[in-house]
Amino acid sequence: GKSGYDHYMLKEIYEQPRAVRQCTRGRVTEMAGSLELSELPASVRSGTDRVQLVGCGTSFYAMQYGASLLCEHGIPAQPFVASEYDADSIPIEPDTLVVAVTQSGETADTLGALRAANRAGATTLAVTNVVGSSAARECDAAVYIRAGPEISVAATKSFASQQVTLAMIASVLAERQSQPFLGALRDLPSRIQHVLDTSSARHVAEEIVDADAYFFVGRRYQYPVALEGALKMKEITYEHAEGFAAGELKHGPLALVTPRTPVVALVTGSEDVVDRTLGTVREVEARGAPVVAVTTSSAPVEPVADYVLEVPETHRHLVPILTNVQLQLLAYWTADLLGRPIDKPRNLAKSVTVE
Ligand code: M6R
């Protein structure tokens, strides 16, 4: 059941500390301070020169985040929307590792891409929540995200668990196990719990609920989080929401910005990234848009933001997991105020088994 929560979505948002703890259990070993993914066979570890990731929807955004971590570790990685992954137009070399990311393991578009990769002779890896699912069975290897059953159509805890799993895979493939990263992984459940305990997203939702549209902007690792935040918002509120790379706003979307379009800005990262994102924030503020800044305590957002949703500091690779929790809560409370059927949005199914 819903264990006292009004919706499965809220229950699953609150289950994230536990889901993440499950995901790292036995993989991040506290004593040795090392990371071990026994499901990744030696052939996958050593034979990989480049990585292609395939998936849909929320899983695609988790992959975009994972791909940027792989690239930062020096492994060329490219995310593809599974329905656009076509062996005729995309080079699949034998030393390419193709990673299918799918919560259910049954998404038809993702299975189609996976089968194309298998036919082309690539090594394939499933990152999935469901043991024995089609994706798990049809890949050379499977790494489970261990999020537990997810009932709500809107993916929440599975996204966090995918992010954590992909961050671990990136670190293993790159053979880089920095102690600060491993320590931050261990502490992540308590950081997520802190966000859940202190979030003012419900109050912010009350302030911005009557809007024409919602825009989400972020840079680097926060760009996929902006896209995911907008997807969650549109999926469960039925309101128009779009995510953009913060730097892209001035190349067109700025024309849409008015006092009736709140802009949710993910303002985290290095000083340079924060400065440039604040530049975007000032541009929208000058057009009268209400600004919600999602940030860590160190970023100087106070003078420009109307509302602040803060997350604790952690390793830079894991901050996007925390900021996303704030966006999940913002979408949830906005949809709740609008009286939407949150767990079963119109026109959508939990698992999309048609192409
Ligand atoms: O089961 P999958 O991860 O393959 O599902 C992919 C998408 O259909 C899914 O993430 C969808 O976008 C969610 N409803 C988003 O909340």
**Predicted confidence (pLDDT) per residue in 274-290, tens digit:** 889 999 999 999 999 99
Which two tokens mark 12? 């699953």
Confidence check on the interface: ipTM exceeds 0.90, yes or no: yes
Q: Whose CA is nearest to atom 8 of ligand 1?
A: 57
- Ligand 1 within 6 A of CB of 155: yes
Type of residue found at 144: Y
- Ligand 1 within 6 A of CB of 154: yes
How does pLDDT run across 7-56, given as a tens digit for each residue?
A: 999 999 999 999 999 999 999 886 667 898 999 988 888 778 899 999 99
Rounded to whole angstroms, what are the CA distances from 121 to 70, 143, 160?
22, 20, 31
CA distance 69 to 229: 20
- Give the pairing of strands 263-267 and 241-245: unpaired
CA distance 176 to 182: 10
Identify the pLDDT of residue 32: 63
Identify the pLDDT of residue 94: 79
Atom of ligand 1 nearest to the CA of 159: 10
Identify the pLDDT of residue 31: 66
CA distance 313 to 19: 20
- Ligand 1 within 6 A of CB of 9: no
**H or E segment to which residue 227 belongs:** helix 222-237
Identify the pLDDT of residue 278: 92
Q: What is the pTM of this model?
A: 0.96
Mean local confidence (pLDDT), 292-300: 87
Identify the pLDDT of residue 86: 87
Q: 80-84, 212-216, 298-302, 347-351: which range is least confident on average? A: 298-302
Residue 88: partners with Cβ closer than 8 Å, 6 or more residues away: none
| Ligand 1 pocket: which of 56, 83, 151, 351 to mutate (most atoms within 8 A of CB) | 56
CA distance 170 to 68: 9
Tell me what the pLDDT averaged over the chain comes to: 94
Q: 84-93, 98-107, 341-350: which range is least confident on average? A: 84-93
| Ligand 1 pocket: which of 350, 352, 354, 355 to mutate (most atoms within 8 A of CB) | 352
Tell which residue, 289, 292, 77, 319, has the closest CA to residue 222: 319
Confidence label for 88 from pLDDT (cuts 50, 70 and 90): confident
- Ligand 1 within 6 A of CB of 134: no
- Ligand 1 within 6 A of CB of 58: yes
| Ligand 1 pocket: which of 107, 129, 152, 348 to mutate (most atoms within 8 A of CB) | 107
350 catalytic? Reply is yes
CA distance 218 to 320: 10
Expressed in angstroms and rounded, the spacing between residue 57 Cα and the centre of ligand 1 is 5
Expressed in angstroms and rounded, the spacing between residue 135 Cα and the centre of ligand 1 is 14
Atom of ligand 1 nearest to the CA of 352: 8
How does pLDDT run across 165-200, given as a tens digit for each residue?
A: 999 999 999 988 889 999 999 999 999 999 999 999
pLDDT at 304 over 90: no
Catalytic entry in 232, 234, 344, 350 = 350
Ramachandran region of residue 244, left (φ > 0), alpha (ψ -120 to 50) or beta?
Answer: beta
- Ligand 1 within 6 A of CB of 243: no
Type of residue found at 341: P
Confidence label for 319 from pLDDT (cuts 50, 70 and 90): very high
Atom of ligand 1 nearest to the CA of 154: 16
How does pLDDT run across 226-245, given as a tens digit for each residue?
A: 999 999 999 999 999 999 99
